[in-house]
C-alpha cells in the first residue's frame, strides 16, 4: 500500500513539476494543472467543481537602463506595464522624502529604507501595512513616469529571491522595474541626471480555477483540507506547492470509502503566490455564511522537504481535537509539532474563527531567514522526498476519521 502510494506521488510530482512545469495563476500551465487535479479527484469518486475567476498572466520582455553613459542591470517589475522613454532621475530613500518631492513625470529610484519591504498589492486584503499603502498612494498621486525599486535580501517576505520586485501588482499602473541594492547605490549618485529606461512587459488576460471536491452530508460540520496549486512565476514549485496538491490527491484516494458523519471538502486554492489572491477571495465570497459550519481546516504548504521532519502546527484547536492530533503525531516517526506560522491559506480560516492545522517542513520553519529556495528556480522535485507525502496523507486520513 505504502509502496503504491509512493509510486503514485512520484508520478504526480513528475506531472506537476516536469510535464506541466510553471503553474502561475492565469497561465496555460496553471489551467492544465487544475484540469488534471479535477480529473484525478473525480476518478477517486469525489464530486468535483471548478470555481472560475479572472486572472492575468504576465510576460517578461526584459529591461535596460542608462544614465550619464552608464548602464545598469534592471529587471521588469512583475505584472508591470511597459515603459520606454527618457526622464529626469530622482533618488528617494524615505517616505518623508517621497511625500515632499516633486515626482510627476520623473523616473523615481526608491532605495534604502523605503525599499526594504515588498509593497503589498493594492487589493491584497489579508496583510497590508499602513506604510505600504501610504507609499502606493503617494506614488499614484504624484504619478511618476516609472519607478525603479532597489531591493536587498528579505527572506522572511520574499523567500530566497534577490533582488525582489519592490512592486508586484497587476492593479498598479505606473511602470516599474527593480534592481539590486548595489546597483541602486551606483545609480543613486546620478540623481538629477536624465535616465533612459526601456522595459518590455505584457499583461495577458485569462482565467483561473479553484478545484473543490466534496463528499458526505452537509449538516454535521465540514472538514476542509486545503493546498494551493499555483506556483510563483519562474519556478516549478515542487515544495511550494506541488507536494501539497499531491497530498490532496493521495488523501482523496484514502478517503474514497469514507462514510463518516462529516462533510469532507478538498480545496486546491489558486492564488497563494499571486498578487491578488483571486482563488482565495473567490472561496471566501462563496463561503461567507458557511465558515461557522467548519470544524477544521488542514492546510498543506511547503511539505515534503528532503531534510527533517514534517511539522504540524495547530491554531485554536479545541482540547479534544488537539489531543487527537498529538496522538497522531506521536504515532508517526516523521511527524513533529511545529510553532504557529502565518504565511499560508490556513490564516484565512483562522481569521474566520475556524480551528486549523498547518502542515509544512520543519526545515523551512528553522531556516526561514536564511533559506534561498522559496520562490526561486531551486524549488525543484529533487529537493522533495515523496515518502514524507505518503506519511502525511496517512496521518491526515487517520485524523479525519477520528473527528
The reply to whether 379 sits near Zn ion by the rule CB under 5 A is no
Residue 257: name the closest of 102, 29, 46 by CA.
Answer: 46
Per-residue binding string, Zn ion, 245-284, x by CB under 5 A, is ---------------------------x------------
Sequence-ordered list of residues with C-beta below 8 angstroms from that of 247, at least 6 positions apart, any chain: 227, 300, 303, 359, 389, 392, 393, 396
C-alpha cell at 34: 487544475
Sequence-ordered list of residues with C-beta below 8 angstroms from that of 164, at least 6 positions apart, any chain: 118, 151, 154, 157, 158, 178
Give the C-alpha separation, 60 to 51, whole Å.
Answer: 28
The reply to whether 301 sits near Zn ion by the rule CB under 5 A is yes
DSSP string computed for 222-248: EEEEEEE----TTS--IIIIIHHHHHH
CB nearer Zn ion, residue 301 or residue 391: 301
C-alpha cell at 281: 477571495
CB nearer Zn ion, residue 146 or residue 227: 227
Q: Which stretch binds Zn ion (CB under 5 A): 76-84, 144-152, 241-249, 352-360?
A: 241-249
- With contact defined as beta carbons under 8 Å apart, do 151 and 180 qualify? yes
CB nearer Zn ion, residue 111 or residue 346: 346
CB nearer Zn ion, residue 241 or residue 347: 241
Smallest gap from Cβ 230 to Zn ion, in A, equals 8
Smallest gap from Cβ 227 to Zn ion, in A, equals 9
- With contact defined as beta carbons under 8 Å apart, do 184 and 72 qualify? no
Q: Determine which residue in the list 241, 313, 367, 384 makes contact with Zn ion, applying CB under 5 A.
A: 241
Q: Which stretch binds Zn ion (CB under 5 A): 9-17, 47-55, 240-248, 252-260?
A: 240-248
Q: What are phi and psi of 160, to 5 degrees?
A: -90, 15
Smallest gap from Cβ 259 to Zn ion, in A, equals 32
Q: β-strand 107-110 against 146-151: which pairing, if any?
A: parallel
Smallest gap from Cβ 232 to Zn ion, in A, equals 8
CB nearer Zn ion, residue 175 or residue 278: 278
Give the C-alpha separation, 47 to 246, whole Å.
Answer: 18
Smallest gap from Cβ 247 to Zn ion, in A, equals 13
Give the C-alpha separation, 166 to 295, whole Å.
Answer: 38
Q: Which stretch binds Zn ion (CB under 5 A): 135-143, 203-211, 239-247, 289-297?
A: 239-247
User: Contacts with Zn ion in 159-218 (CB under 5 A)?
Assistant: none
CA 245 → CA 15, 194, 239, 242, 318, distances in Å? 12, 49, 10, 5, 27
The reply to whether 240 sits near Zn ion by the rule CB under 5 A is yes
Q: Which stretch binds Zn ion (CB under 5 A): 61-69, 170-178, 202-210, 234-242?
A: 234-242
User: Contacts with Zn ion in 315-344 (CB under 5 A)?
Assistant: none
Instruction: Give the three-state DSSP class for 146.
Output: strand
Smallest gap from Cβ 41 to Zn ion, in A, equals 20
Smallest gap from Cβ 260 to Zn ion, in A, equals 29
Smallest gap from Cβ 374 to Zn ion, in A, equals 8
Q: Which stretch binds Zn ion (CB under 5 A): 9-17, 65-73, 106-114, 299-307?
A: 299-307
Smallest gap from Cβ 272 to Zn ion, in A, equals 5
C-alpha cell at 337: 509539532
What residue ranges bind Zn ion (CB under 5 A)?
A: 240-241, 272, 301
Amino acid at each position: 500500500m505504502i509502496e503504491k502510494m509512493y509510486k503514485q506521488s512520484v508520478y504526480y510530482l513528475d506531472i506537476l513539476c516536469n510535464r506541466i512545469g510553471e503553474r502561475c495563476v492565469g497561465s496555460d500551465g496553471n489551467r492544465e494543472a487544475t484540469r488534471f487535479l479535477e480529473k484525478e479527484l473525480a476518478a477517486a469518486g469525489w464530486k468535483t467543481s471548478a470555481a472560475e475567476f479572472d486572472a492575468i498572466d504576465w510576460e517578461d520582455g526584459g529591461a535596460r537602463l542608462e544614465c550619464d553613459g552608464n548602464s545598469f542591470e534592471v529587471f521588469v517589475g512583475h505584472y508591470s506595464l511597459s515603459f520606454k522613454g527618457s526622464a529626469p532621475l530622482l533618488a528617494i530613500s524615505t517616505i518623508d522624502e517621497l511625500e515632499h518631492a516633486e515626482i510627476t513625470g520623473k523616473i523615481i529610484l526608491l532605495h534604502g529604507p523605503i525599499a526594504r519591504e515588498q509593497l503589498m498589492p493594492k487589493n491584497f486584503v489579508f496583510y497590508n501595512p499602513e506604510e505600504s499603502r501610504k507609499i502606493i498612494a503617494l506614488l499614484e498621486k504624484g504619478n511618476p513616469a516609472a519607478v525603479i525599486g532597489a531591493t536587498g535580501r528579505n527572506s522572511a517576505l520574499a523567500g530566497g529571491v534577490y533582488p525582489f520586485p519592490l512592486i508586484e501588482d497587476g492593479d498598479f499602473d505606473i511602470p516599474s522595474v527593480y534592481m539590486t541594492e548595489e546597483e541602486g547605490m551606483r545609480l543613486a549618485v546620478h540623481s538629477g541626471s536624465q535616465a533612459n529606461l526601456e522595459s518590455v512587459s505584457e499583461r495577458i488576460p485569462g482565467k483561473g480555477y479553484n478545484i473543490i471536491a466534496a463528499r458526505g452530508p452537509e449538516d454535521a460540520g465540514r472538514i476542509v483540507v486545503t493546498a494551493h496549486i499555483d506556483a510563483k512565476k519562474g519556478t516549478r514549485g515542487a515544495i511550494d506547492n506541488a507536494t501539497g496538491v499531491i497530498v490532496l490527491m493521495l488523501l482523496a484516494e484514502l478517503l474514497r470509502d469514507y462514510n463518516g458523519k462529516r462533510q469532507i471538502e478538498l480545496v486546491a486554492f489558486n492564488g497563494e503566490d499571486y498578487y491578488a489572491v483571486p482563488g482565495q477571495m473567490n472561496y471566501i465570497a462563496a463561503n461567507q455564511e458557511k465558515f461557522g459550519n467548519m470544524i477544521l481546516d488542514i492546510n498543506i504548504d511547503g511539505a515534503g522537504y528532503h531534510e527533517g521532519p514534517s511539522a504540524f502546527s495547530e491554531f485554536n484547536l479545541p482540547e479534544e481535537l488537539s489531543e487527537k492530533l498529538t496522538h497522531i503525531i506521536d504515532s508517526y516517526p516523521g511527524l513533529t509539532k511545529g510553532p504557529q506560522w502565518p504565511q499560508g491559506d490556513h490564516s484565512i480560516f483562522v481569521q474566520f474563527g475556524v480551528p486549523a492545522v498547518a502542515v509544512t517542513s520543519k526545515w523551512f520553519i528553522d531556516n526561514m531567514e536564511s533559506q534561498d529556495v522559496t520562490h526561486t528556480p531551486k524549488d525543484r522535485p529533487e529537493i522533495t522526498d515523496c515518502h514524507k507525502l505518503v506519511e502525511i496523507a496517512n496521518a491526515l486520513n487517520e485524523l479525519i476519521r477520528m473527528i
